[in-house]
Amino acid sequence: MPAWIVSKEGVYPVPDRFHSLPNHSLFALLFASFVPLAGCMPTAYKITPISADQRLQETTLIDEGGLSPAKIALIDVDGLLLNGHKKTFFGEGEQPVSLFTEKLDKAAKDSRVEAVVLRVNSPGGSVTASDIMYNEILYFKQRTHHCRPVVAVFMDVAASGAYYLSCACDEIVANRTTVTGSIGVIMQMVNFYGSLDKLGIETDAIKSGEMKDAGSPLRRMTPEERELFQKLVNQFYDRFVEVVAKGRPNLDEQKVRAIADGRVYSASEALELGFIDRIGSLRDALQDVKDRLGATHVKVVTYERPSGYKPNIYADAPPGVTQFNMLNVTLPPDLAALEPQFLYLWSPGH
């Protein structure tokens, strides 16, 4: 008989990998799922059927009515941008790059969609993920013959890689309290050499080449390795500067380099520097798009997996976001990994 997990969101089957657990272990797992609910009695349980077809479905957020209203697709860019699946308690979640591309594809194939608004709330992520998403926006504009405007709206944080991909948009609007910028590259590395030495632990590596274990956390970095990694970081930084200079009409490469030292800026500072086009809310941006299209009425839609209810244009804060000093900053578990990573990321404390 199949086992089920009950939560406030519904009833779900126990994942296959837990079926091999002894009965008492499985019972403990199921019991743990009830514990958070027990203190909130009385509690009602709802069984929500989930469609077997997991293709994106369209949800209407705003419908102003009228005859053939202009359709605007609202697409989220949130959380840590990685070219890999986000981890969840019971397995792997969505792949940010894939999901973003899937949503753009759906908007491109719908001839009724006349514009796209990106709701950006992200500190950035990996160099490759940011660049792929940037190029997917350019590809969307190319395949729609540059007839459908793409506007980025910055929410709490739109920094580093999130700003990078936004430079492919036709316009950037930021909320007055947005933090943005952080133009730069970081390669965060860890060194346990001192701790291992105190514990009397020695490490050694058999390698085919001198640089094969470059970046190892088990020993000190050599000057040659630092030079190698610095060269790569500089190349990725040059690419970032190139993208910003190309996407921002009032900035050239020299101006970008003069102000792109990795720091973040407030919306008013970003506007003065030319990083954004205007300060406004999400509703302001939607009204701008409406005016740009010359539309009397609009219909704003979003794309979600089946069972994802969206009551309005502000629904769904990005997962895995922690509030620090009024700034939403994603704390990525991936940064705890030992392997070196090149990141377009603003993440204080890492």
**Over the stretch 31-85, which tens digit does the pLDDT of each residue have?**
455 445 445 556 665 555 555 667 899 999 999 998 889 999 999 999 999 887 6
pTM beyond 0.85: no
Nearest C-alpha neighbor of 169 from the set 278, 268, 315, 328: 278
Tens-digit pLDDT profile for residues 281-311: 999 999 999 999 999 999 999 998 876 555 5
Average pLDDT over residues 11-24: 54
Query: Does the pLDDT value for residue 28 go beyond 80?
Result: no
Q: Is 160 a catalytic residue?
A: yes
Dist. CA 75–CA 121, nearest whole Å: 11
Nearest C-alpha neighbor of 287 from the set 153, 134, 130, 98: 153
Tell me which of 51, 87, 212, 307 is the catalytic residue.
Answer: 212
The residue ranges of every structural domain in the chain are 4-38, 57-189+218-345
How far apart, in Å, are the Cα atoms of 4 and each of 10, 27, 29, 39, 122? 10, 11, 10, 20, 34
**57-189+218-345: which CATH topology?**
2-enoyl-CoA Hydratase; Chain A, domain 1 (3.90.226)
Tell me which of 122, 126, 130, 160 is the catalytic residue.
Answer: 160
Interstrand relation of 113-126 and 150-159 (parallel, antiparallel or unpaired): parallel
| Model pLDDT, residue 317 | 45
Of residues 168 and 66, the one with the higher pLDDT is: 168
How far apart, in Å, are the Cα atoms of 120 and each of 9, 33, 161, 222? 26, 33, 11, 39
The dihedrals phi and psi of 309, each to the nearest 5 degrees, come to: -85, 130
